[in-house]
Amino acid sequence: MEIVCPAGTPAALRAAVKAGAHTVYCGFNDETNARNFPGLNFDRAEMREGIRFAHDHGSKVLIAINTFPRAGAEGIWHDAVSDAASAGADAVILADPGLLAFAMQNHPDLRRHLSVQAAAANSDVINFYARCFDVKRVVLPRVLSVAEIAAINDQTKVETEVFVFGGLCVMAEGRCSLSSYATGLSPNMNGVCSPASHVDYHDEGDTLAVRLGGYTIHRAKPGEPAPYPTLCKGCFATQDQKGYLFEDPVSLNAEQLIPQLKKAGVTALKIEGRQRSRSYVAQVVRNFRDAVDALEEGRELPAGMLARLSEGQAETTGAYRKIWR
Amino acid sequence: MFQVPVAIPTFPKLPARALGVVPLGPISMALSAFAKQVARRHPALFRRLGDHAHARFILDPTDLPLVMRLEPNGGAPRVTLLRHPDGGPDGGPDGGPDGRDARIAGPLAALLGLVHGAFDGDALFFSRDLLIEGDTGAVLALRNAIDDAELDLAAELGAISGPLRQPLERLIALAEGATGVALSRHEEEFA
């Protein structure tokens, strides 16, 4: 199975490649990718150099251009696709049908993957994208069980890629408006969920409060993990209860499910975290590469050591086992 | 790769107290000169700061009686040491930190570990070993810029130490082994 690893910076790309990533995904430093955070991503020259480094070491590079083009500004997204092709990317990860059409018409040899942002969660829609845009791989939304993934693979020839580690989105991906509601900016249009410019942490002595767009969304007591700055992982009081009303602040770790995912026909395992450090990338990639190599060689899977790196310091197998709340 | 310790070492209390009485002006000048040397060798670090290249950062080693104000100045950085708590994070006199600054607070070992890629910033933040306040966007930009720069402060120091380079590197390696603090960058060789 192929390990697909995040890289938010050229240094993280090199760390991922050295740690054994089969494939690295990254984005340009603008609104065309869904991790448009300060200090992150690649300018055009860095992207060309990163791809050269990866190829020299036998790894592939996928470029995520997975936000939705703004009316009147489609050229920014078209340029990103064309620049990805000329930089030698092994594939682009796209979500918008118009952009998929542009890529197919103008760069037919550039392999197209369907982003998780497209929220393609059944074989009919996946086959539609394959038929219309010759999509070769789909990144499945994090809302499917292993049995559902197996059912999809039975009905499509499109490769499937699934998330195995990192942050979780509770919504059908590409359709979440919570960040827009609080800040006016969203991952879908601007590439930022809960943009840092709208996040404010405040040490209140015995508690740590986080505000998003002026709204207090959580207060963590001493000993509790620092609160996550998104509305979906906020802690709220309603008439009859107080707690994480949308989603528990836990992180996905499906490491022990890799054999089942392989049996379900999954081609590639994706690690979330382009916003994380090169230290995180190296540790997580090495861990998952060891696990995949063990599986291929018929050895027992190594025990995981990644809990400390999880967002919220707690883990779940998410929807794969349908116990995630 | 440097191993992530379960517990982050803290600076010994006695030497920390001694730092409370040393004159900060000359050390600030030396640190500014050192930062300018780093800026010359790593210009991409300042480009990566983008819109935050003129922000003010308060680096607050919580086990020391002083804080460091870092002003990148678009590539001509200035470093000023300030005493804690009268130059505290919520507004101090005499040009001390105020609410406009981005503050990153944690044990000195954690801050050095972040610079050298031994720790993941988000992991330290979620475990509350690290606290950020103020301009979150500026903090993120600085974190990402430093992570990408692959800095090695021991090597930077060695580069300006002339004939003292080798003994200095040996001394740093010894101190690193004795304290468990990431005083230099460690990286696995590509296999």
The tens digit of pLDDT for each residue in B96-148 reads 456 567 999 999 999 999 999 998 898 899 889 999 999 999 999 999 999 99
Q: How would residue B190 be classed by pLDDT, with cut points 50, 70 and 90?
A: very low
Residue A319 is encoded by which pair of tokens? 């929807």
Query: Residues of chain A with pLDDT > 90: what percent?
Result: 64
Cα torsion angle, A276, A172, A24, A189, sign: negative
Q: Which residues of B touch A310 (CB under 8 A)?
A: 123, 126
pLDDT in tens, B7-42: 899 988 888 888 888 899 999 999 999 999 999 999
The region that residue B150 occupies, defined by phi over 0 for left and psi between -120 and 50 for alpha, beta otherwise, is left
pLDDT in tens, B152-163: 999 999 988 888
Give me the helices (H) in A9-157, please: 10-19, 44-56, 74-87, 97-106, 123-133, 146-154
A221 touching B (Cβ < 8 Å): no
DSSP string covering B157-181: HHHT-GGGHHHHHHHHHHHHHHH--
Identify whether the C-beta of residue A224 lies closer than 8 Å to the C-beta of residue A218: no
Q: Is the pLDDT of residue A322 over 80?
A: no
CATH number corresponding to B13-151:
3.30.1050.10
Nearest CA in chain A to B132: A201
Q: Is the pLDDT of residue A325 over 70?
A: no
Q: Which residues of B touch A225 (CB under 8 A)?
A: 126-128
pLDDT in tens, B38-48: 999 999 999 99
pLDDT at A314: 67
pLDDT in tens, A217-228: 999 988 888 888
B66-71 and B78-83 as β-strands: parallel, antiparallel, unpaired? antiparallel
Q: Do B148 and A11 touch (CB under 8 A)?
A: yes
A278 touching B (Cβ < 8 Å): yes
A283 touching B (Cβ < 8 Å): yes
Identify whether the C-beta of residue B155 lies closer than 8 Å to the C-beta of residue B184: yes
Query: Residues of chain A with pLDDT > 70: what percent?
Result: 94
State the smallest CA–CA distance between residue A171 and chain B in angstroms: 23
pLDDT at A312: 57
Domain boundaries, chain B: 13-151
A106-128 as b/e, with b when 16 or more CB fall inside 10 Å? Answer: ebeebbbbbbbbbbbbebebbbe
State the smallest CA–CA distance between residue B120 and chain A in angstroms: 5
Q: Is the pLDDT of residue A171 over 50?
A: yes
Report the residue from A8, A38, A311 with minimal CB separation from B137: A38
Q: Do A196 and B143 touch (CB under 8 A)?
A: no
CATH topology of domain A2-168+250-320: TIM Barrel (3.20.20)
A2-6 and A23-26 as β-strands: parallel, antiparallel, unpaired? parallel
Q: Which residues of B touch A282 (CB under 8 A)?
A: 1, 188
If you count DSSP H runs as helices and E runs as strands, how many of each does chain A have, helices first? 9, 15
CA dist A318 and A270 (Å) reads 14
Q: What are phi and psi of A56, to 5 degrees?
A: -60, -25
Q: How would residue A321 be classed by pLDDT, with cut points 50, 70 and 90?
A: confident
pLDDT at B110: 95
Q: Do B126 and A277 touch (CB under 8 A)?
A: no
Report the residue from B122, B137, B150 with minimal CB separation from A11: B150
Q: Which residues of A touch B142 (CB under 8 A)?
A: 39
CA dist B12 and B15 (Å) reads 6
pLDDT in tens, A300-314: 877 765 555 555 556
pLDDT at A85: 98
Q: Which residues of B touch A309 (CB under 8 A)?
A: 120, 122-123
Averaged pLDDT for residues A121-125: 96
pLDDT in tens, B33-79: 999 999 999 999 999 999 999 999 999 999 999 999 999 999 999 99
Q: Do B139 and A196 touch (CB under 8 A)?
A: yes
Report the residue from B1, B126, B138 with minimal CB separation from A226: B126
Report the residue from B49, B121, B126 with minimal CB separation from A225: B126
ipTM over 0.95: no
CA dist A29 and A47 (Å) reads 10
pLDDT at B94: 44
pLDDT at B20: 85
Q: Is the pLDDT of residue A150 over 90?
A: yes
Q: Do A39 and B4 touch (CB under 8 A)?
A: no
Which segments of chain A belong to CATH 3.20.20.70?
2-168+250-320
A185 touching B (Cβ < 8 Å): no
Q: Count of A–B CB contacts within 8 Å? A: 118
Q: Which residues of A touch B188 (CB under 8 A)?
A: 18-19, 282
